[in-house]
């Protein structure tokens, strides 16, 4: 089977939904598809399912490899597998690509059922609530009435929160990592710069670049580089790159001089090749709009009144994009409602990206918590 | 601070009503809360700063919030708990006044326990010219976390000065109540406090 503790070779699946999805914006998706993967087995009671929600640039390929020689496994492979914190010998794990995504689920890039052309700019703006509604439809399809847990980091953590709000009876545990109850103005500002980089790219064509066989790569590249700066802490960047020079000397040019630049360019180029700009726009907007307290005069505790799920909230000390303070707001709202909650503030130097790295303590936290969930099955 | 010195659990349990909502500040590995959950079916939350203690509390299946008590209890609403417990941690706090006030803001009642520095064994060691080391205070002067040690008399005065009502007070030595000369003969002081 190759790699130790790996779920091994996996295959993506596609679910079709013909029941229209009513969106928060008031629009309707007449039909849609969701790409997903599963690992492990659904037990007879169908109560061991765990849904993984992805963040901005993630997808449904969470663990394992498609082919033996794939360079990288799924994006949260260090969490999921036999004997790993989220043990696939105990749990049935589901990864799903969200609506508006570009990895197989319906989005701007996919073909409009009527026009038979890419949706492009016509694909509606979707919200975290819409995603969770679509995920619920997928759970219904898979015969899962109640999820043992929903877990996610960053934007994924927001989906875990939304599950507890939208379907309080259908989720037993929410694991909310490096998330926030809404974005700060600074966060919205970062997103807007990223969007402007894309929208003002001459190859954007108002979101209909597919027609012209073009891609707004410059814009997407800048958006991704900006993102990467905010996912790392100043310290982590200092440790990893410092002022190291690419060719050991100052070049007196605007080409790559510093290692830091080289890293950013590499990340930006790779992303601009693989990712879809329309998806990036929509994902950042979903982040901006998420704000469960908005219908309760900004009172998150009131918004959480209907929550029944048990929560594990985790933040990282050096995460300045979704700071521990923001996680504490979530914890407070849960405490105010006398809900079951534990909160860990993990000492980590990697900034927001720490949620994807399994430092030993972070790993122990998740292992312990999933054992608790498993004991309740 | 010592894990072995936990004769206070039974007394604390006596002061907590069945099914109460309890917050334990500096819950260490969650032993007290586990004891209270089993005996009184309390709804409980622990606060713990240390990673290992935090994890051990989680392993007991308890709710545990990782935070530093020195920054107060701002994440907790006023009067949102029936009882807030600070068990043998007071002497290790920097912001002693603030934490007691915060306990009585968040809790309808507060339970504070601490090793009595006025205990005769401690006094003898001081007369002999050395900092006391005992079962209740097992550290040497240079590595002790206990920076705000006090006697029973000191704490009684603290309560008067800060307008804190003492609902009950129990002084123990080797788990037995001490009624005569408690400040001299008592090793462990336990207070049940309310706002005046």
pLDDT of amino acid B135:
84
Q: Which two tokens stand for residue A372?
A: 């608790």
What's the pLDDT at A4?
80
Cβ of A343 and B51 within 8 Å?
A: no
**Test the B interface: residue of A344, A374, A376 with most B CBs within 10 Å:** A344
Which residue in the block uniquely carries the two structure tokens 């410059």? A218
So what's the ipTM on this one? Answer: 0.93
Q: How far apart are CA A229 and CA A156, in angstroms?
A: 20
B82 burial (CB, 10 Å; 0-12 / 13-18 / 19+) is: middle
Looking at residue B2, its pLDDT comes to 41
B136: pLDDT confidence band, cut at 50, 70 and 90? Answer: confident
Q: Give the residue on B whose Cα is nearest the Cα of A345.
A: B66
How confident is the model at residue A3, as a pLDDT?
72
Is the predicted pLDDT of residue B5 greater than 70, yes or no? no
Of A340, A344, A368, the CB nearest to B66: A344
Residue of B nearest to A310 (CA): B63
Average pLDDT, chain B: 94
- Per-residue CA distances from A156 to A179, A186, B129, B134 (Å): 8, 19, 61, 51
Q: What is the per-residue pLDDT across B14-24, written as a single tens digit (0 to 9) for each?
A: 999 999 999 99
Which residue's entry shows tokens 């599963």? Answer: A38
Note whether A335 contacts B75, CB cutoff 8 Å: yes
Which residue among B58, B65, B67 places its CB closest to the CB of A368? B58
Phi, psi of B166 (to 5 degrees): -95, 110
Identify the CA nearest to B83 among candidates B41, B27, B43, B38: B43
Residues sharing a CB contact under 8 Å with residue A376, sequence separation 6 or more, in sequence order? A148, A172
Question: Distance from A205 to chain B by nearest Cα, in Å?
Answer: 48
Q: pLDDT tens for residues A227-263?
A: 999 999 999 999 999 999 999 999 999 999 999 999 9
Average pLDDT rounded to a whole number, residues A265-269 = 96
Do the Cβ atoms of A279 and A285 come closer than 8 Å?
no
Nearest-CB residue to A338 (from B43, B55, B62): B43
Q: Per-residue pLDDT tens for A307-353? A: 999 999 999 999 999 999 999 999 999 999 999 999 999 999 999 99
Query: Is A276 part of the annotated catalytic residue set?
Result: no
Which chain A residue has its CA at the smallest distance from B74's CA?
A: A332
What pLDDT, on a 0 to 100 scale, did the predictor assign at position B196?
A: 87
What φ, ψ does residue B76 adopt, rounded to 5°? -120, 135
Q: pTM for the whole thing?
A: 0.95
Q: A136-149: per-residue pLDDT in tens? A: 999 999 999 999 99
Please give the pLDDT value at position A235. Answer: 92
Tokens 């960047």 map to which residue?
A: A237
Q: List the 139-158 stretch of A: residues with Cβ below 8 A of B.
A: none
Three-state SS string across chain A, please?
A: CCCCCCCCECCCEEEEECCCEECCCCCEECCEEEEEEEECCCCCCCCCEEEEECCCCCCCCCCCECCCCCCCCCCCCCCEECCCCEECCCCEEEEECCCCCCCCCCCCCCECCCCCCECHHHCCCCCHHHHHHHHHHHHHHCCCCCECEEEEECHHHHHHHHHHHHCHHHECEEEEECCCCCCCHHHHHHHHHHHHHHHCCCCCHHHCHHHHCCCCHHHHHHHHHHHHHHHCCHHHHHHHCCCCECCCCCCCCCCCCEHHHHHHHHHHHHHHHHCCHHHHHHHHHHHHHCCHHHHHCCCHHHHHHHCCCEEEEEEECCCCCCCHHHHHHHHHHHHHCCCCEEEEEECCCCHHHHHHCCCHHHHHHHHHHHHHHHHHC
- Does A154 qualify as catalytic in the annotation? yes
CB contact under 8 A, A368 and B80: no
**Chain A positions in Cβ-Cβ contact with residue B55 (cut-off 8 Å):** 361, 364-365, 368
Task: Tell me whether residues B65 and A361 touch, CB distance under 8 A.
Answer: no
The pLDDT score that the predictor gives to residue B7 is 72
Whether A332 and chain B come into contact, CB under 8 Å, resolves to yes
For residue B3, what pLDDT is reported?
41
Would the pLDDT of B145 be above 50?
yes
Surface-to-core class of residue A282, CB atoms within 10 Å of its CB (0-12 exposed, 13-18 middle, 19+ buried): buried
B78-114 per-position pLDDT tens digit: 999 999 999 999 999 999 999 999 999 999 999 999 9
User: Tokens at residue A178, please?
Assistant: 């490096």
Q: How many angstroms separate the CA atoms of A153 and A139, rounded?
A: 20
Q: Strands A32-39, A92-96: parallel, antiparallel or unpaired by DSSP?
A: antiparallel
Nearest residue to B156 (alpha-carbon basis) of B193, B119, B124, B181: B193
Residue to mutate among B63, B76, B80, with most A CBs inside 10 A, is: B63
For residue range B27-57, list pLDDT tens digits in order.
Answer: 999 999 999 999 999 999 999 999 999 999 9
Interaxial angle between packed helices A259-274 and A217-231, expressed in degrees from 0 to 180 and rounded to the nearest 10: 130
Cβ distance B63 to A342 less than 8 Å, yes or no, reads yes
Beta strand pairing call for A92-96 and A149-153: unpaired
Mean pLDDT of chain A: 96
- Contact list, A344 vs chain B (CB under 8 Å): 54, 66
Instruction: Over range B135-149, report the average pLDDT.
Output: 93
- As a whole number, mean pLDDT of residues A76-87 equals 97
pLDDT of residue A334: 98
Q: Which two tokens stand for residue A146?
A: 């109640």
- Range A122-132 average pLDDT: 98
CB contacts of A372 in chain B (<8 Å) are: 58, 61
A-B C-beta contacts closer than 8 Å: 45
Element (H, E) at B56: helix B51-59
Tell me if chain B has a CB within 8 Å of the CB of A347: yes
Active-site hit among A154, A233, A318, A327: A154
Q: Which residues of B touch A (CB under 8 A)?
A: 21, 43, 45, 51, 54-55, 58-59, 61-67, 75-77, 80
Question: Which residue among the candidates A103, A170, A350, A352 is catalytic per the annotation?
Answer: A352
A112 is catalytic: no
Q: Which residues of chain A lie closer than 8 angstroms to B34, CB-CB?
A: none
Q: What separation, in Å, do the N-terminal and C-terminal C-alpha atoms of chain A show?
A: 28
Task: Using the structure block, give the residue that is written with the tokens 């002061």.
Answer: B15
**Based on the number of CB atoms within 10 Å of its own CB, is B18 exposed (0-12), middle (13-18) or buried (19 or more)?**
exposed
Angle at A271 between CA A354 and CA A226, to 5 degrees: 60
Taking CA atoms, what residue in A is nearest to B64? A342
What are the Cα distances from residue B48, in Å, to B29, B54, B64, B94? 9, 6, 7, 16
Secondary structure element (H or E) that encloses residue B30, with its range: none
């Amino acid at each position: 089977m190759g790699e130790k503790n790996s779920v091994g070779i996996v295959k993506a699946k596609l679910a079709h939904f013909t029941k229209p999805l009513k969106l928060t914006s008031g629009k309707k998706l007449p039909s849609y598809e969701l790409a997903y993967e599963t690992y492990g087995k659904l037990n007879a009671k169908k109560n061991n399912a765990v849904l993984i929600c992805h963040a901005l640039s993630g997808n449904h390929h969470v663990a394992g490899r498609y082919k033996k020689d794939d360079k990288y496994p799924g994006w949260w492979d260090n969490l999921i597998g036999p004997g790993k914190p989220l043990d696939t010998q105990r749990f049935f794990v589901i990864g799903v690509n969200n609506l508006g995504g570009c990895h197989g689920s319906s989005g701007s890039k996919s073909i409009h059922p009527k026009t038979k052309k890419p949706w492009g700019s016509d694909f509606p703006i979707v919200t975290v609530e819409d995603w969770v509604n679509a995920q619920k439809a997928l759970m219904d399809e898979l015969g899962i009435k109640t999820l043992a847990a929903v877990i996610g980091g960053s934007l994924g953590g927001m989906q875990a929160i939304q599950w507890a709000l939208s379907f309080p009876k259908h989720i037993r545990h929410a694991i909310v990592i490096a998330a926030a109850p809404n974005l700060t103005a600074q966060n919205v500002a970062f997103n807007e710069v990223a969007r402007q980089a894309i929208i003002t790219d001459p190859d954007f064509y108002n979101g209909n670049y597919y027609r012209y066989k073009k891609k707004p790569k410059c814009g997407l590249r800048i958006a991704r580089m900006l993102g990467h700066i905010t996912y790392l802490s100043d310290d982590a960047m200092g440790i990893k790159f410092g002022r190291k020079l690419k060719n050991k000397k100052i070049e007196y040019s605007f080409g790559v001089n510093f290692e830091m630049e080289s890293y950013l360019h590499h990340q930006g180029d790779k992303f601009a090749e693989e990712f879809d700009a329309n998806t990036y726009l929509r994902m950042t907007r979903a982040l901006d709009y998420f704000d469960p307290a908005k219908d309760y005069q900004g009172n998150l505790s009131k918004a959480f009144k209907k929550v029944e799920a048990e929560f594990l909230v985790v933040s990282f000390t050096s995460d300045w994009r979704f700071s521990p303070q923001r996680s504490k707001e979530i914890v407070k709202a849960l405490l105010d409602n006398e809900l079951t909650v534990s909160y860990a503030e993990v000492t980590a130097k990697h900034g927001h990206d720490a949620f994807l790295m399994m430092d030993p303590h972070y790993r122990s936290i998740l292992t312990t918590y999933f054992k608790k969930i498993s004991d309740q099955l | 601070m010592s894990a072995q010195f936990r004769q206070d659990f039974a007394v604390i349990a006596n002061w907590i009503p069945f099914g109460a909502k309890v917050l334990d500040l500096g819950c260490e590995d969650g032993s007290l809360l586990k004891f209270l959950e089993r005996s009184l079916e309390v709804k409980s939350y622990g606060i713990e700063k240390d990673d290992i203690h935090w994890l051990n509390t989680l392993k007991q299946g308890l709710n545990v919030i990782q935070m530093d008590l020195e920054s107060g209890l701002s994440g907790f609403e006023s009067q949102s708990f029936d009882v807030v417990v600070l068990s043998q941690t007071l002497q290790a706090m920097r912001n002693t006044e603030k934490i007691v006030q915060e306990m009585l803001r968040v809790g309808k009642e507060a339970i504070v326990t601490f090793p009595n520095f006025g205990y005769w064994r401690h006094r003898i060691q001081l007369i002999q010219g050395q900092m006391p080391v005992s079962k209740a205070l097992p550290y040497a002067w240079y590595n002790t976390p206990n920076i705000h040690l006090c006697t029973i008399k000191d704490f009684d005065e603290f309560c008067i000065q800060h307008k804190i009502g003492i609902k009950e007070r129990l002084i123990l030595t080797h788990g037995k109540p001490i009624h005569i000369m408690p400040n001299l003969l008592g090793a462990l002081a336990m207070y049940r406090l309310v706002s005046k």
